[in-house]
Amino acid sequence: MRHDTVEGSGLYAGASVSSVEYSLLPAEESAARISRLQEAVREEGLDGFLLTQNTDIYYLTGTMQTGYCFIPAEGEAVLYVRRSAERAREEAHIRTEELGAFREFGAKLAAGLATAVPPDRKRLIGTPLDVLPAQTYLKLADLLEPAGAVLADASPVMRQLRMIKSSWEIARITQAAQAAAEALAEALNDLKEGVSELDWMARYEYEIRKRGHIGLMRMRAYNQEVITGMVGAGEAAAVPSYFDGPAGGKGLGSAAPQSVSRRLFRRNEPILLDVGCCIDGYIIDQTRTAVMGELPEELLRAYGVTERIMRQTEKLLQPGIIAEKPYQEALHMAEQEGLADHFMGCGADRVRFLGHGIGLEVDEWPVLAKGFTMPLRAGMVIAVEPKFTFPGAGVVGIENTYVIQEEGPPLALTQSPEQLIVLP
Residue closer to its own copies by CB (options 130, 329) is 130
CA distance 325 to 338: 20
- Quick one: which segment of 69-77, 193-201, 331-339, 368-376 binds its own copies (CB under 8 A)? 193-201
Identify which of residues 17 and 111 has a Cβ nearer to its own copies in the complex. 17
Residues in a beta bridge with 288 = 273
12 is a site residue for its own copies (CB under 8 A): yes
Q: How far is the CB of 60 from its own copies (least distance, A)?
A: 12
Residue 193, Cβ neighbours under 10 Å: how many? 11
254 binds its own copies (CB under 8 A): yes
Nearest residue to 129 via CA among 219, 220, 61, 226: 220
Strands (E), 189-286: 229-233, 271-275, 277-279, 282-284
Sign of dihedral through CA atoms 175, 180, 181, 182? Answer: positive
Residue 272 — φ and ψ, nearest 5°?
A: -85, 125
Strand 282-284 relative to strand 277-279: parallel, antiparallel, unpaired? antiparallel
Residues 61-120, interacting with its own copies (CB under 8 A): 62-66, 82-87, 91
Considering only 33, 34, 47, 53, the residue that binds its own copies (CB under 8 A) is 53
CA of 15: how far to CAs of 9, 21, 90, 210, 214, in Å? 9, 10, 17, 20, 21
Which residues ranging from 374 to 413 are in contact with its own copies (CB under 8 A)? 392
What distance in Å separates the CA atoms of residue 369 and residue 45, rounded to the nearest whole number?
Answer: 29
Find the binding residues for its own copies in span 196-215 (CB under 8 A): 196, 198-199, 201-203, 205-206, 209-210, 212, 214-215
Interatomic CA distance for residues 92 and 64, integer angstroms: 9
Residue closer to its own copies by CB (options 392, 424) is 392
Near its own copies in 282-301, by CB under 8 A: 282
CB of 129 to its own copies, least distance (A): 4
Contact residue for its own copies among 17, 101, 111, 116 (CB under 8 A): 17
Please give the Cα distance from 380 to 415 (Å, whole number): 18
Residue 36 within binding range of its own copies, rule CB under 8 A: no
Binding to its own copies (CB under 8 A): which residues in 307-346?
Answer: none
Angular region, 184: left φ>0, alpha ψ -120 to 50, beta rest: alpha
Closer residue to its own copies (CB): 261 or 289: 261
Cα-Cα end-to-end distance for the chain: 54
In the complex, minimum distance from the CB of residue 216 to its own copies, in angstroms, rounded to a whole number: 6
Closest distance between its own copies and the C-beta of residue 31, in Å?
Answer: 16
Site for its own copies in 127-156 (CB under 8 A): 129-138, 153, 155
List beta partners, residue 217: 226
| Binding segment (CB under 8 A) for its own copies, from list 99-107, 109-117, 125-133, 309-317 | 125-133
Q: How far apart are CA 282 and CA 169, in angstroms?
A: 8
Which runs of consecutive H residues, i.e. helices, occur in 189-215?
197-210
Smaller CB distance to its own copies: residue 10 or 304? 10
# chain residues binding its own copies, by CB under 8 A:
89
Q: How far is the CB of 276 from its own copies (least distance, A)?
A: 13
For residue 316, the minimal CB distance to its own copies (Å) is 27
Alpha helices per DSSP H over 269-323: 297-316
Contact region with its own copies (CB under 8 A), list: 235-243, 293-301, 365-373, 402-410 = 235-243
Minimum CB distance to its own copies, residue 385 (Å): 17
